[in-house]
Amino acid sequence: MKTIKIGLVALAGLWSMSTQAQRIIEDNRAIQIKADIDNSNGLHGTYEGIQFYTAGSKLFQLSPNYVTAYEPFVSNETAILKKDATIKGALNVEGNAEFSTRIGLGTSNPAVGFHVISKDIRVDGGQFQSNGMVILHPDVDNTGNDIVSFRNSTNQEMARIHDGVLTLKGGNTIQSTGALTLRPDISNSGDDYISFKDGSNQEMARLQDGRLTLDQVRLNVSTFPDYVFSKEYKRMPLLKVAEFVKKYKHLPNMPSEKEVVANGMDVGQINIKLVEKVEELTLYTIEQEQKIESLSKRLAALEKMLNTKN
């Protein structure tokens, strides 16, 4: 190995190289620059390492334990750092970067592969991707803040997941461009139901085995059969109703069994039709009552006439 010396001057134990012109150090073999050859490790009050300057500004300083970069670190080729590196400026990586151990932001002692303390992570127009499961694991220090919070562009919380509970805030909506499936009890433990609760955690309704259990149902409708009592409403005479039932096996203006089985039962429509038939039946009953009363009066008059003749 060759030793190259260019204008080296010893001043108070500090080696310096000063020149006004450009100098190039080159060799066909390795070039070694050694510091702290007496292994004092800073015992003499001096910095034990190698420092690089340009135009009066410090670029790098190297020590046995770490590398410190004071200006943006740019490497056009592969750069390998086998010890701790502290970069106090920007780190510009235009190609691929491989970190075989851990990266810390806001911490010099990362506990996992990518450890961030009191810093934000922002992705603009990109994706978080994984070949396997993606796990969000909040509150690993067990302080009680085990919350995953979802925020909008003004940093207002829209929703949060806490203790397995998804809470939507501000009247937000769950939407899907396709099918939306809720599948409880995939472990077949027997708790195969969906429960709907109010603000005081009281159950308002329950969906289980295809049955919805609740206290009341309120449907939005656009009409109701009071039109039956209008003078313009034309009721089918009872004899015509009898002929219709005999022929089609269902009431007029009601869906047939075949239609309901094929298409399902529209609860709102069926209830409106049932009320319509009840109101029609009421009118039929009133008409029959009026006819019975008229016949009763006529019968009474005839009986009176017969009794008078006798």
Confidence of residue 88 (pLDDT cuts 50, 70, 90): low
- Give me the residues paired with residue 279 across strands: none
Q: What is the pLDDT of residues 38-67, one digit of tens each?
A: 766 554 445 667 887 877 777 777 776 667
pLDDT of residue 58: 77
| pLDDT tens digits, 11-42 | 334 455 555 666 777 777 777 777 777 766 55
Helices and strands in the chain: count of H runs, count of E runs: 3, 16
pLDDT of 265: 92
pLDDT of residue 276: 96
Handedness of CA 71, 73, 75, 78 (dihedral sign): positive
| Residue 77 CA: distances (Å) to CA of 33, 91, 134 | 22, 14, 33
Per-residue model confidence as pLDDT tens digits over 128-148? 888 888 888 888 888 888 898
Provide the pLDDT for residue 10: 40
| 252-292 tens-digit pLDDT | 999 999 999 999 999 999 999 999 999 999 999 999 999 99
Global pTM?
Answer: 0.47
Q: Are 217 and 263 in contact (CB under 8 A)?
A: no
pLDDT tens, residue by residue, 200-248: 889 999 998 888 899 888 888 899 999 999 999 999 999 999 999 999 9
Sort 201 into a burial class: Cβ within 10 Å, 0-12 / 13-18 / 19+: exposed
Contact criterion met (CB below 8 Å) for 130 and 138:
no
Q: How many CB atoms lie within 10 A of CB 147?
A: 13
Q: 291: which DSSP letter?
A: H
Of 84, 87, 65, the C-alpha closest to 74 is 87
Q: Look up residue 291 and give its two tokens.
A: 């006819």
Give the pair of three-digit tokens for residue 220: 């939005």
Q: What tokens does 122 get?
A: 């922002």
> Looking at residues 96-123, what average pLDDT do you find?
84
Nearest CA among 68, 37, 38, 66 for reference residue 52: 68
Kind and range of the H or E element at 309?
helix 267-309
Give the chain's radius of gyration (CA, Å).
Answer: 45
Mean residue pLDDT across the chain: 81
The residue assigned the tokens 């932001």 is 105
* Distance between CA atoms of residues 309 and 72, nearest Å: 131
pLDDT of residue 27: 74
From 180, 216, 211, select the one nearest 193 (Cα to Cα). Answer: 211
User: Does residue 310 register a pLDDT over 80?
Assistant: no
Q: Which of 61-65, 181-185, 194-198, 227-231 has the least mean pLDDT?
A: 61-65
Q: Which amino acid is at 119?
A: K
Give the closest residue to 283 by CA, choosing from 227, 244, 242.
Answer: 227
In percent, the amount of the chain with pLDDT more than 70 equals 81
